[in-house]
Amino acid sequence: MKKMDQKIIQMKEMDLLLCPKCREELHVEEKSLKCKNRHTYDVSKKGTVNFVLGYGEEYYNLAMLEARERVMGEGFFEEILTAMAEEIYEDILLLEKEGDVIRILDAGCGDGSHLAMLGEALKEKGLQVSMVGVDLSKDGILLAGRKMNDALYFVADLSALPFKDNSFDVILNILSPASYKEFQRVLSPSGRAYKVIPGAKYLTELRKLYGLSEYDNGEIVSHLKSHTVVYKERDIRAQKKVERYADDLLLMTPMLWDKTILEPGAKLSKVTIDVHLATFGYPKKIEEGVSL
Ligand SMILES: C[S@@+](CC[C@H](N)C(=O)[O-])C[C@H]1O[C@@H](n2cnc3c(N)ncnc32)[C@H](O)[C@@H]1O
Ligand SMILES: [Zn+2]
């Protein structure tokens, strides 16, 4: 018997495991331990379990991130990335930093596709960039690390970043959680951060198909505004033809991960992209604790 199978039997027999996040009982499902809240911990070949990196293992596993990578490779976020490159470029000119090496952090970079594409776009505009991506998901960083570029990638928690103060000119935070205190620490005072938040119509076709209500980003936007100075906001919308990669789209979309996917691709031809792009930062006033 394989070591992993042996240990799994032992885990079942001992019946002692609780989910460290929600304190619910863990049960064995294939090669993972799961609680009723779907927190998931994979059992390694050696039969050990990593509970510390629970978040990364939970949903953003290799198959899902590979699907995300393929979808992004089809240009799914083209309009968003083009808009972001424009905003970043204009801000760099405004700050008269176009001669410097621009240090970019992608906080919650997933498989690294966006950072790679944005870096390319900014280089094409004549900027010099150095790129760093962090994600809690080991698999995300594994995929990012396979990319042929000179970015650095780390498995790390964006709320406890392994970087010195004022290390970055630009922070990207795309469809990922944020830690505004930690971003403030690592962003230079003149730096800019760019957050992409889904809008009400983001993937609305998928939401309808699965009976989900419209997305409301109100709380996220007001949280952002109460912790940072928002310099600029803009909405980006596009219709994407997705027949060719509809199955991957379903696989990569977090809101569907607990849904049963029946004959997925057949019903999907076009989906709407609708996101809110906010440019924010931390000018001196805020650093000195003066509230706005
Ligand atoms: C919806 S995905 C977006 C990934 C990528 N930015 C994209 O748009 O494809 C959210 C990402 O946030 C990461 N994440 C969640 N919490 C995190 C944390 N505390 N620190 C670092 N990454 C985190 C997840 O692992 C996941 O890769
Ligand atoms: Zn749990």
User: What CATH class has 63-287?
Assistant: alpha beta
CA distance 184 to 175: 19
CA distance 151 to 115: 8
Q: Is the CB of 56 under 6 A from ligand 1?
A: yes
143 C-alpha to ligand 2 centroid (Å) = 26
Where is the binding site for Zn(2+), in residues?
Answer: 19, 22, 35, 39
What per-residue confidence (pLDDT) applies to 146? 84
Q: What is the pLDDT of residues 151-196, one digit of tens each?
A: 888 777 888 777 788 989 999 999 999 999 999 989 999 999 999 9
CA distance 94 to 103: 16
Task: Give the range among 4-8, 106-110, 171-175, 191-195 with minimum mean pLDDT.
Answer: 4-8
Q: What is the pLDDT of residues 18-37, one digit of tens each?
A: 777 777 888 888 888 898 88
Where is the binding site, in residues?
Answer: 19, 22, 35, 39, 77, 202
Q: Do β-strands 270-281 and 229-241 pair in parallel, antiparallel, or remain unpaired?
A: antiparallel
Do the beta carbons of residue 162 and residue 154 sit within 8 Å? yes
Q: Is the CB of 246 under 6 A from ligand 1?
A: no
DSSP collapsed to 3 states, 192-215: EEEEEEECCCCCHHHHHHCCCCCC
Span 74-87, average pLDDT: 97
Do the beta carbons of residue 288 and residue 209 sit within 8 Å? no
Q: Is the CB of 158 under 6 A from ligand 1?
A: yes
Q: Residue 52 — very low, low, confident or very high, per pLDDT cuts 50/70/90?
A: low
Amino acid identity, position 188: S
Query: Comparing C-alpha atoms, which of 77, 67, 80, 81 is closest to residue 245?
Result: 67
Domain with CATH 3.40.50.150 in the chain: 63-287
